[in-house]
Amino acid sequence: MLYTFSFLLFYLADIMVTAYFMAALYIETRRVRADVSFRGMLRLLTDEFKRLKKGKVAFLHLSIFVGVGLSILFMLIYPLVYSNMLLEGAILALSVILSIGLLAAAVWRVQILFQSRKVHKELGKELMIDDNFKRKSLLFQTILVVVILLTMVDLDLSSLHYQGFFYYASFVFVIRTALVALLYVKPAINTYVNMEMKIPEITTPFNINDVLQGKVDPSSIKVGVETFSDFQKYELNSLDACVEIGACEAACPATKVFRPLSPRVLIRKLAIASEKKVNLPLQSVIAEEELWSCTTCAACVYSCPVDVKHLPIIIDMRRKLVEQGKLDKKKSSLLLSLGEYGNTFSSTNQLRNSWLRETGIKIASESQNFEYLFWVGCMGSFDSRIRRYVSAFAEVAKKAGIIEKIAILGEEETCCGDPARRLGEEGKFQELALANIEKFKKYNVRKILVICPHGLNTFRNEYSKLDDWMKNVEVKHHAQLIDELIKDGRLKTNNGEQKYTIHDPCYLSRYNGMVNPQRNVIGAIGKVAEPDMRGENTFCCGAGGANYWYEAKERKRISHERLEQLEKTNSKNIVTLCPFCNAMLFDAITTVGKADETKLRDIAEIVNDALK
């Protein structure tokens, strides 16, 4: 009788803390106005499993996610489990598997904790963090480790067929579930709400066409954020959702080389400041150098298991700096060049890309009978080294018999606008974008071919936000086209034993999920030697976010860090798919004196040399 009473008492406590947890979930869904449905929950679970391709962090997070869910389920159905040996055996097997994942998650979390303390020590002054921040950070991260360990213990105790263990399991369950309800409901709901938001998405605060057509009053437009009230709802939710998991910091190339930036610290500083209920100027919390140190590689957003949107927040804060004119000479020169010349090289567009006529590529204005508009880009047009692989691609197209299907804009081509937008100059970006869209309409362009992932991302994902017409335009990277030509038998390559290491550009692989075409192409020529950080988990070259045109304070160049990662494959052939990546890695190779032993080439150059 006493045992039955005590069992019911403990079981009731479990039910009550579970009800408290469910109530917290309900209140948060109402607060953020989340449309919760069975289909959405199924999509969330499916999305969690899809994240496993992101590496160990996703696996560890899934262990926690499933571990907490199953421990709640186990506790609620405990009376049923206790009388069913078959069900108890299944639960025991699941508990063992999940416990291994949870133990690994706890070990990884402790490593991240020590890494975070190192960041606090090395960059504390530059990141404007005080002892109060450090204490809160330590507490937050310690609680997360405790929650993981409590979940593991609860699962193990609940799965063992011994009535005395129930009381211990129940006690642990109450503490763990209460902590989850208090601290981790907001991250869970934020993940649910943002699972549809793609990595490349940043806000479009206005549309110039709407202004010109009188649909929007220019005085009502706000560009950038200056105080917390300027943030959009999903950005504020990101601040609430951050529980310092630390995956963003571990993946950030800027933090890796000790630039004054940690995406974890940046979000948590804003979150702590927002708790004061005072509309502080954001620039009193975040230093300008933090914002300019970002390469916009999106490794932070990609790796965050609770879908915190660090990048849109950084871009919005940059926009305010641009509006206030807080730019150094190099950033100002970039914008002046875009305004005066329409390109990033301060060069006249007269006779732009005229040298490509020799390859047989037509000018669009002279003949509209073409399939692909080849967007050469600023680097391909004005950088002598990058011109080499533009020519190599033209040779490949000629040998495949498709050169007649390709045309260029020639003098009409300008910058795609990516550097302006990443820097924070939204107005200049839209001016360039809308002018380019009008040219595309003029020549009835349906397919755009690019050598630059930044152009690909801009045309594919951002122009359509300004004009729906762009949704019907196919944008293709030259590696994709080469892959198709090889598969169709239009190109025949010599296959050898040479090893090649592919450097995946962030804007190609992480932003747009293009990982396989380049591996198919190189696999038809030689052997692919993969670096540890590859595909969507690639490591930035350091040029993104307009960083190519200005200097950021750092102890080591990001391009040098990436070169060292690529060299660990023991391949002397590095394959690039982006003119900016090529330029950054070439600078690194030259600086360290390895130009004679390491070959750095675009994929088109390698294919051209390997054709039968």
CA distance 331 to 505: 23
> Do 284 and 357 fall into the same domain?
no
Q: Over the chain, what is the mean pLDDT?
A: 91
Domain membership of residue 204 (yes or no) is: no
Vertex 569: Cα angle to 305 and 303 (nearest 5): 5
What is the pLDDT averaged over residues 16-45? 88
**Structural domain ending residue among the three candidates 484, 507, 538:** 484
Residue at 329 is within a domain: no
pLDDT exceeds cutoff 80 at 161: no
Instruction: Kindly state the percentage of the chain with pLDDT values over 90.
Output: 68
Q: Does residue 392 fall inside a structural domain?
A: yes
Sorting pLDDT into bands at 50, 70 and 90, what band is 548? very high
> Tell me, what's the pLDDT at 2?
46
Over residues 114-131, the mean pLDDT reads: 94
CATH code of the domain covering residue 508: 3.40.50
Statement: residue 395 has pLDDT above 80: yes
In this structure, the answer to whether residues 125 and 57 fall within a common structural domain is yes
Same domain assignment for residues 480 and 499: no
pLDDT band at 164; cut points 50, 70, 90: low
Q: Which of 125, 69, 78, 136 is nearest to 98 (CA)?
A: 69
Tokens coding 350: 């007269």
Give domain status of residue 389, yes or no.
yes
C-alpha–C-alpha distance, residues 166 and 576, integer Å: 58
On the question of pLDDT at 131 being above 60, the answer is yes
- Of 269, 300, 323, the one marking the end of a domain is 323
Residue 199 lies in a domain: no
pLDDT band at 259 (very low <50, low <70, confident <90, very high): very high
The reported pLDDT for the residue numbered 3 is 55
pTM: 0.93
Q: Is 146 left (phi over 0), alpha (psi -120 to 50) or beta?
A: alpha
Average pLDDT over residues 44-73: 82
Whether 300 and 342 share a structural domain: no
CATH assignment of the domain containing 239: 1.10.1060.10
Q: Which pLDDT score is estimated for 158? A: 75
Do 174 and 159 sit in the same domain of this protein?
yes
HSE (CB half, 13 Å, CA atoms) of 176? 25
Contacting residues for 53 by C-beta, under 8 A, at least 6 apart: 536
Percent of the chain with pLDDT over 70: 96
Query: Residue 217 is encoded by which pair of tokens?
Result: 């009053």
Closest CA to 299 of 505, 119, 49, 108: 505
**Residue 604: domain span:** 490-610
Question: Mean pLDDT, to the nearest integer, of 146-169?
Answer: 81
Residue 216 lies in a domain: no
- Statement to judge: residues 357 and 467 lie in one domain: yes
Most confidently modeled of 18-27, 100-109, 213-222, 524-533?
524-533
Check residue 180 and give its pLDDT. 92
Q: How many residues does the chain have?
A: 612
**Residue 589 within a domain:** yes
Q: Are residues 178 and 45 in the same domain?
A: yes
Burial readout 189-222 (b: 16 or more C-beta within 10 A, e: otherwise): bbbbbbbeeebbbbbebbbbeebeeeeeeeeeee
150 and 275 in a single domain? The answer is: no
Per-residue confidence band for 87, with pLDDT thresholds at 50, 70 and 90: low
Tally of structural domains, the chain: 4
How many whole angstroms separate alpha carbon 519 and alpha carbon 567? 18
| Averaged pLDDT for residues 505-526 | 97
* Residue that terminates a domain, selected from 484, 502, 520: 484
Chain centroid, CA 576 distance in Å: 19
Query: Higher model confidence: residue 156 or residue 264?
Result: 264
Is residue 59 domain-shared with residue 94, that is, in the same domain? yes
**32 and 85 belong to one structural domain:** yes
Task: Please check whether residue 331 lies inside any domain of the structure.
Answer: no
- 98 band by pLDDT with thresholds 50, 70 and 90: confident
Are 75 and 18 within 8 A, CB to CB? Answer: yes
Helices (H), ranges, 358-425: 377-382, 384-399, 418-423
Do residues 480 and 494 both lie within one domain? no
Residue with more model confidence, 496 or 449: 449
Confidence of residue 313 (pLDDT cuts 50, 70, 90): very high
**Which H or E run includes 117?**
helix 85-123
Please count the helices (runs of H) and the strands (runs of E) in the chain.
28, 9
Mean pLDDT, rounded, for 357-370: 88
47 and 93 housed in the same domain: yes
Residue range 101-123: mean pLDDT, rounded: 93
Instruction: Specify the pLDDT at position 69.
Output: 87
